[in-house]
Amino acid sequence: MLTWIRKHKRILLYGSSLALLLFLLRWLEFRFLVLSHAIDIYVGAIALMFTALGIWLTLKLTRPKTHTVIVEKEVYLPAETSSEINQSEIEKLALSRRELEVLNLMAQGMSNKEIADGLFVSLNTVKTHSSNIFEKLDVKRRTQAVEKSKRLGIIV
Amino acid sequence: MLTWIRKHKRILLYGSSLALLLFLLRWLEFRFLVLSHAIDIYVGAIALMFTALGIWLTLKLTRPKTHTVIVEKEVYLPAETSSEINQSEIEKLALSRRELEVLNLMAQGMSNKEIADGLFVSLNTVKTHSSNIFEKLDVKRRTQAVEKSKRLGIIV
DNA sequence: CTAAAATTCATACTAAAGTATGAGTGTGTA
DNA sequence: TACACACTCATACTTTAGTATGAATTTTAG
C-alpha cells in the first residue's frame, strides 16, 4: 500500500490539487458573491486559476518537439568490391561506354558544358546522355546519380 | 532597477498586455451584467480566455521541449578509406553547423527543396546556405562541393 | 552588456539542369 | 543486307540551381 502511494504520488498529487481547486472555486463563489461589488475579486481569482490551469495543461500536454539525429552506422563493403569497379552492376544497368564517361566526369563535379567541351560533343548530347543515365540509374538528379553509382561501385 | 526593467522588458510587455486584457474584461463585465443571470456565461468566458492566455504564455515563454530520436543510417564505406571526419579542415574552412547539415544532405543527392523541407526552413534559406558553402569551399556547383568535401574528409 | 557571427527569409534576377520529341549517322551482327 | 543500338544533335520547354542584395532575429563569445 505504501509502495503504491509512493509509486503514484504524482497522480495523487494532481488529483488532490484539482479537487482542492474545485473546492476553492466553490468557496470563493459563496464567499464573494454575498458581498456586493466583490465580483471583481472573484473574477480575478478565476482568471488567475485558469491562467495557471492553461500553463499547467500546456506544460503537461505539449508533445516534445522531435529532433532527429541521424547516426551513421558504418557498413564496410567486402574488400574486393571496394576498390574495384563493379562490372556486373554496369552490365545489369546497361550503361553504355559513353554514358559511363559522362557519369565519371559528372562525379568530378563538372558541368554539362564542361563535359561537352571535354568530350568534344555538343551540350545537347551531354544532356541526352545525362537523361538516359538518370533513367537507367532510376534517379532524378546528377547528385543522386553520383551518390548511387559510387555506392554501387560503378565509378571510383 | 533600470537594468531590471531592460532585462525583463518582454515580461513587462506581456504584463501591460495583461492589463489591457483586464480593461477589456471590465468592459465585457458591464456588457454582460446588464443581462440578468448572465454571470455564468461571463465567468465561463473568463475561464476560457485565461486558460487560453496561460497556454499562449507558456508556449511563448518556454523553450520547446525536444525529444531526440536517433535513426541509424547505413553508410557504405570503402574498406581502406579512413572513416574519420576531418574536424580541423572544417574549422579551417569556417563552415557553420547549419552549413554542414546542408552539405551532408546535398551529398545524399537531395534537391534544395527537399533539404528545405527536411530542415523546416525556406527554399531561399537553403540557397543562401548553399552559396555560402560554395564560396567557403571555393567551388562553383553542388557536385563540386560534394566531391571536394568528400575528398577533404569533411563529410562521410 | 555588446559586438560579431549565425540563421533566417525575401525579391529579383541569370544560369544551368533536366525533359520530351524527333531525327540523322555509323556499326556490329543475325 | 537489314536492323537493333549507340551516338550524335536540334528545338522548345519546364524546373532547379545559383547570385546579389538587403534585412530581421537569434546565438554566441568577449
Q: What is the pLDDT of residues B4-13, one digit of tens each?
A: 444 444 444 4
Total domains in the fold of chain A: 2
| Strand D bases within 7 angstroms of protein beta carbons | 5-12, 16-22
In a domain, A6, yes or no: yes
* A142 in B contact zone (CB under 8 Å): yes
CB pairs under 8 A between A and B: 160
Structural contact between residues B132 and B99, judged by C-beta atoms closer than 8 angstroms: yes
Are A90 and A39 found together in one domain? no
* B44 in A contact zone (CB under 8 Å): no
pLDDT digits (tens, 9 = 90+) for A27-73: 666 566 556 555 666 667 767 777 666 666 655 555 444 444 444 55
Out of B44, B61, B78, pick the residue that ends a domain.
B61
Q: How far apart, in whole angstroms, are the C-alpha atoms of residue B49 and residue B55? A: 10
In a domain, B80, yes or no: no
Distance from CA of B141 to the nearest CA of A (A): 7
In a domain, A89, yes or no: yes
Are A57 and A83 found together in one domain? no
Nearest CB neighbour to B109, from listed A48, A74, A143 = A143
Task: Give the residue-averaged pLDDT of A113-137.
Answer: 95
Closest CA to A136 of A99, A85, A97, A88: A99
In a domain, B79, yes or no: no
Rounded to the nearest 5°, which phi and psi values hold at B66?
A: -115, 140
In a domain, A73, yes or no: no
In a domain, A36, yes or no: yes
Task: Give the residue-averaged pLDDT of B45-71.
Answer: 57
Are B98 and B146 found together in one domain? yes
The CATH number assigned to the domain holding A99 equals: 1.10.10.10
Residue B65 and residue A65: Cβ atoms within 8 Å? yes
In the numeric block, the cell 530520436 is attached to B69
DSSP B80: S
Residue A130 sits in which domain range?
Answer: 79-151
* B70 in A contact zone (CB under 8 Å): yes
Q: Which nucleotide is nearest to A113 (CA to C1')?
A: C16
Nearest CB neighbour to B66, from listed A64, A71, A146 = A64
Helix (H, G, I), strand (E, B) or coil at A75: strand
Closest CA to B44 of B58, B59, B32, B27: B32
